[in-house]
A and B are shown apart, each in its own frame.
Chain A
Amino acid sequence: MSDISALSTEPSFLDEVIDATSGGDRLRSCLQCGTCGGSCPNGSDMDHTPRALFALIAAGEREEVLSADAPWFCVSCYACTVRCPRKIPITDLMYTLKRIAAREHFAKKQDAVALAENFNRFILRYGRSFEFGIASRFYLTRKLGSIFSLGPLGIRMMRHGRLSLTPSKIENLAQLHAILDKARELGGES
């Protein structure tokens, strides 16, 4: 079906991705040179390199792209974006793919999603991130196994006064929420 969708005049997956990314239309000019795949610090561990993802997007392979782990392994180092000979905002496109995948629950198995969700939950509650909370909650919910290996580190961090156990909270949380709610409404974010 995917090839059909690529050929039909319906807005393709490519259009969908481009519309969801500021400056995303540069993606049409991709020449598949692989600069992104070669530049990516995690390139060797991704199931598809960014370049391959772009080819799959153009081919309309929606499911395969959205279930890929590559976007979640993007560390936002922007090496690809700076080097791309076609000036494609690759990092931003990875964010777009993350958002679509998360929205449509393609990425439940990704730890990165949980981390992001966690992080944002704390931001909503305090207006600031709370490393200890995020880390502990994250490990409790996702990586129970490895939490013990992390214990000593946590303790060392605490000993060096680098782990505050009390979150700091902004005063005008209501204002922040008002802004974020409006943004979500305007951006059609669930």
Chain B
Amino acid sequence: MAEKVGVYICHCGSNIGGVVDCPEVAKWARENLEDVVVSRDYKFMCSALGQDLIKDDIAKEGLTRVVVGACSPHLHEKTFRNASKAGGLNPYLMQMTNLREHVSWVTADKAAATGKSKSLISGAVHRVVHQEALAPMPVPVNDHTLVVGAGIAGIQAALEIADAGYHVYLLEREPSIGGHMAKFDKTFPTLDCSACILAPKMSDIDQHENIELLTYSELESLSGYVGNFKANIRKRPRMVVEPDCTGCGLCIEKCPKRVVDTEFEAGIGYRKAIYRPFPQAVPKIPVIDVENCTYFVRGKCKACEKFCPTGAVDFKQVEEVREVDVGNVILATGWKPFDARRVSQYGYGRMANVFTSLEFERMCNSAGPTDGKIVMRDGVTEPKSVAIVHCVGSRDENYNPYCSGVCCMAALKFGHLVLEKTDAEVTSFYIDLRTNQKGYEEFYARLLDEGMNFVRGKVAEITDAARYPGEEGKIILQAEDTLLGRQRRHPVDMVILMGALEPRDDSKELGIKVGVSCSMDGWFTERHPKLDPVATMTDGIFVAGSCQGPKDIPASVAQGAAAAARVVGMINRKSVMVEPVVASINDEKCSGCRICNTLCPYGAITFDVQKSLSGIETALCKGCGTCVSGCPANAISGAHFSNAQIEAELDGILFEIQQGAATGEGAPLAEKGGRHE
């Protein structure tokens, strides 16, 4: 039986109405398009009155389908679905088409705009009659959660969820939790001691009954879907039996092998071959670095084993893989520091007294290699002058186009520390100083008062080639002082390079494991940059902290908490509704060719060997439709985006085009379609 379609053209004030002849479009639809029983135009369809038009017509005219020509569906699709629902129509029987963003706002020529609107409406009408009533599907939610990464963002998220009374698996690749924050001395802009605020949280994690800490471990694979994930976790061998170890540290004391610590000490300090990254490490259990351990390299030593009072050392330990069931996953894998060697004109690695920001953080830390003393590479001499170089590897298309966000404030913090701990003068070379959070601009003002110098100009090169008297034995920064428009050479004893924050090398890899995409830069992509910043396109997977983009501590903590809130919300609901836009396979038509099996990145398509048929795990399907268009037998159909629906929309559009051709009036075709005038 024929459907009864109602068409509603929105003027959006003059936004659409000012360019598109809405009454004409409505009239044309009524007269030219099959199944259209009602066709109206109205000033504001999204207004209550506009929505009432739809509801009433559904009741009075017995509409079975609704087409709305207005703004972008991304704005008001929900609105008009609800209106249809309120009128007693299944919301998925409403089709919206975009006459504003895609027509009136981008077209100068009115005739052209009107013609284009007609064809879009025609497309929508043809499509809507093929649409089917759909209902969202409920699935249960497991109340365990996996948090990947135990930096400050992951720690915050884990604690929030655990405190809400739910079990958390907290995964950390390094031997200890704490992340980068554990390496810092002070935090901007308040200058409170990083360890003092982090350490308590770390021991909370250690003691929390709802948190199961999995350190020295990585996520091997993730399968399943929202509410019902299975995670495989690979635990590397510490060579120390955790339950037996008391963390007394005797083994570390006795270990004869000293190694440069490129991880925690950023390369300016040493550790033993059996070590604990830092005294307050959580857990306290040490690990053996098998690359450097004398026993593993040469086959003899075993000092640690000899001296261990509880016999906890076990050189035969092997890695283990375990599987955990979780309902939600939070990614908080953080960032990695930019390799300053790549900017060879800055001479890092060539000139001893050029340091990276992370090296300097460790130097300032009273628990660091220099006991907090600011000294040159020789380890004793205090610098008389220090230069801080901004944007090293940031805002630079040769390295990373983005702004790393935190460096400006960290540079101010460094400036303060230098002025506080030494008699040196400090000069910062910046392009723009970005201090746009609470208390940040005030901190900048404070540093001006404290006598830190600022030069606006990106440093062109750093050299030890003296040119003028007074430059001998110094490191010279050459830059243009852009506020003076003059080239400037600035000799100093010590340089600090504010290196960029970069995505982890394996972030893309991890993204593919869990079905989260990465931006071109390699940061995880959130569902919506403004309105949904911690969710991802994969339901049940959330992001927090710097793995989603450079962030400072406050922002990371906020995101950790936000992600936790989303997870707790999910758990409390017990079950979640998933959009019904999914694919399904018609067994009659499926030839078992398995072409579709390889097309799905979510592993939603399974193959039944007995029946030799492919099948789709509905809850896993995200509805992209790639398998639908890939099936040679047309056996797969995509709900709400079926071949019939899309081809009908195409027919509708072509219908107007052919009609236009016939009448010669076809939309833009008479006048030259208005271009940038």
- Which residues of chain A have a CB within 8 Å of any CB of chain B? 31-40, 43-44, 48-49, 51-52, 79, 83, 85-87
In the complex, how many angstroms separate the beta carbon of B157 from the nearest chain A beta carbon? 35
Interface window among B418-426, B478-486, B612-620: B478-486
User: Closest B-chain residue to A46, C-beta based?
Assistant: B487
Q: A52 touching B395 by the CB < 8 A rule?
A: no
Q: A37 touching B398 by the CB < 8 A rule?
A: no
Chain B residues, CB < 8 A from A38: 457-461, 478-480, 487-488
Given contacts A85-B398, A87-B397, contact A34 B457 (CB under 8 A): yes
A-B contacts at CB below 8 angstroms, number: 69
Contact of B431 among A31, A36, A79 (CB under 8 A): A31
B396 contacts the other chain (CB 8 A): yes
Counting chain A CB atoms within 10 Å of each CB, which of B345, B397, B482 scores highest? B482
Contact of B458 among A43, A52, A85 (CB under 8 A): A85
Given contacts A31-B431, A34-B480, A49-B487, contact A86 B397 (CB under 8 A): yes
Q: B460 touching A83 by the CB < 8 A rule?
A: yes
- How many residues on the B side are at the interface (Cβ–Cβ under 8 A)? 22
Chain B window 16-44, contacts with chain A (Cβ cutoff 8 Å), 1 for yes, 0 for no: 00000000000000000000000000000
Q: B398 touching A33 by the CB < 8 A rule?
A: no
User: Closest A-chain residue to B345, C-beta based?
Assistant: A83
- In the complex, what distance in Å separates the CA atom of A37 from the CA atom of B460? 8
Counting chain A CB atoms within 10 Å of each CB, which of B456, B479, B481, B487 scores highest? B487
Q: B485 touching A33 by the CB < 8 A rule?
A: no
User: Closest B-chain residue to A50, C-beta based?
Assistant: B480
- In the complex, what distance in Å separates the CA atom of A92 from the CA atom of B351? 33
Q: A33 touching B487 by the CB < 8 A rule?
A: no
Chain B residues, CB < 8 A from A44: 486-487
Q: B485 touching A48 by the CB < 8 A rule?
A: yes
Chain A residues, CB < 8 A from B460: 34-39, 79, 83
Given contacts A44-B486, A48-B485, A83-B345, contact A39 B397 (CB under 8 A): no
- In the complex, what distance in Å separates the CA atom of A33 from the CA atom of B432? 9
User: Closest A-chain residue to B477, C-beta based?
Assistant: A38
In the complex, how many angstroms separate the beta carbon of A47 from the nearest chain B beta carbon? 10
Chain A residues, CB < 8 A from B487: 37-38, 40, 43-44, 49
A-B pairs with beta carbons under 8 Å apart, 12 shown: A31-B395, A31-B431, A34-B456, A35-B480, A36-B460, A37-B487, A38-B479, A38-B487, A38-B488, A40-B487, A43-B487, A87-B398
Known: A39-B461, A79-B460, A85-B391. 13 other contacts (CB 8 A): A33-B395, A34-B456, A34-B480, A36-B460, A37-B480, A38-B459, A39-B460, A39-B478, A40-B487, A43-B487, A51-B480, A51-B485, A86-B397
In the complex, how many angstroms separate the beta carbon of B486 from the nearest chain A beta carbon? 7
- In the complex, what distance in Å separates the CA atom of A31 from the CA atom of B396? 10
Q: A33 touching B482 by the CB < 8 A rule?
A: yes
Q: B486 touching A33 by the CB < 8 A rule?
A: no
Q: A34 touching B398 by the CB < 8 A rule?
A: no
Chain A residues, CB < 8 A from B456: 34
Chain B residues, CB < 8 A from A85: 391, 395-398, 458
Q: A49 touching B431 by the CB < 8 A rule?
A: no
- In the complex, what distance in Å separates the CA atom of A2 from the CA atom of B488? 30
Q: Which of B267-284 contact A (CB under 8 A)?
A: none
Counting chain A CB atoms within 10 Å of each CB, which of B460, B480, B482 scores highest? B480
Q: Which 3 A-B pairs have the closest CB atoms?
A: A38-B460, A37-B480, A34-B480
Q: Which of B467-495 contact A (CB under 8 A)?
A: 478-482, 485-488
Chain B residues, CB < 8 A from A35: 458, 460, 480
Chain B residues, CB < 8 A from A86: 397
Chain B window 429-459, contacts with chain A (Cβ cutoff 8 Å), 1 for yes, 0 for no: 0010000000000000000000000001111
User: Closest A-chain residue to B401, C-beta based?
Assistant: A85
Q: B485 touching A52 by the CB < 8 A rule?
A: yes
Chain B residues, CB < 8 A from A37: 457, 460, 480, 482, 485, 487
In the complex, how many angstroms separate the beta carbon of A126 from the nearest chain B beta carbon? 39
- In the complex, what distance in Å separates the CA atom of A109 from the CA atom of B647? 70
In the complex, how many angstroms separate the beta carbon of B73 from the nearest chain A beta carbon? 34
User: Closest B-chain residue to A38, C-beta based?
Assistant: B460
Counting chain B CB atoms within 10 Å of each CB, which of A36, A39, A44 scores highest? A39
User: Closest B-chain residue to A26, C-beta based?
Assistant: B397
In the complex, how many angstroms separate the beta carbon of A62 from the nearest chain B beta carbon? 19
Q: A43 touching B480 by the CB < 8 A rule?
A: yes
Chain A residues, CB < 8 A from B397: 85-87
Chain A residues, CB < 8 A from B481: 34
Q: B395 touching A34 by the CB < 8 A rule?
A: no
- In the complex, what distance in Å separates the CA atom of A40 from the CA atom of B479? 10
User: Closest B-chain residue to A31, C-beta based?
Assistant: B431
- In the complex, what distance in Å separates the CA atom of A88 from the CA atom of B485? 19
User: Closest A-chain residue to B394, C-beta based?
Assistant: A85
- In the complex, what distance in Å separates the CA atom of A51 from the CA atom of B487? 11
- In the complex, what distance in Å separates the CA atom of A170 from the CA atom of B459? 47
- In the complex, what distance in Å separates the CA atom of A132 from the CA atom of B461? 37
- In the complex, what distance in Å separates the CA atom of A85 from the CA atom of B403? 12
In the complex, how many angstroms separate the beta carbon of A28 from the nearest chain B beta carbon? 14
User: Closest B-chain residue to A42, C-beta based?
Assistant: B487
Chain B residues, CB < 8 A from A39: 460-461, 478
In the complex, how many angstroms separate the beta carbon of B10 from the nearest chain A beta carbon? 33
- In the complex, what distance in Å separates the CA atom of A40 from the CA atom of B345? 13
- In the complex, what distance in Å separates the CA atom of A43 from the CA atom of B485? 10
Q: B461 touching A33 by the CB < 8 A rule?
A: no
- In the complex, what distance in Å separates the CA atom of A49 from the CA atom of B480? 8
Chain B residues, CB < 8 A from A32: 482
- In the complex, what distance in Å separates the CA atom of A39 from the CA atom of B479? 7
Counting chain B CB atoms within 10 Å of each CB, which of A34, A35, A43, A87 scores highest? A34
User: Closest B-chain residue to A47, C-beta based?
Assistant: B485
User: Closest A-chain residue to B399, C-beta based?
Assistant: A85
- In the complex, what distance in Å separates the CA atom of A122 from the CA atom of B33? 77
Chain A residues, CB < 8 A from B395: 31, 33, 85
User: Closest B-chain residue to A52, C-beta based?
Assistant: B485
Counting chain A CB atoms within 10 Å of each CB, which of B398, B457, B459, B460 scores highest? B460
In the complex, how many angstroms separate the beta carbon of A69 from the nearest chain B beta carbon? 14
Counting chain B CB atoms within 10 Å of each CB, which of A33, A36, A37, A86 scores highest? A33
- In the complex, what distance in Å separates the CA atom of A68 from the CA atom of B345? 29
- In the complex, what distance in Å separates the CA atom of A85 from the CA atom of B345? 13
In the complex, how many angstroms separate the beta carbon of A57 from the nearest chain B beta carbon? 14
In the complex, how many angstroms separate the beta carbon of A5 from the nearest chain B beta carbon? 20
- In the complex, what distance in Å separates the CA atom of A39 from the CA atom of B345? 10
User: Closest B-chain residue to A33, C-beta based?
Assistant: B458
Chain A residues, CB < 8 A from B396: 85
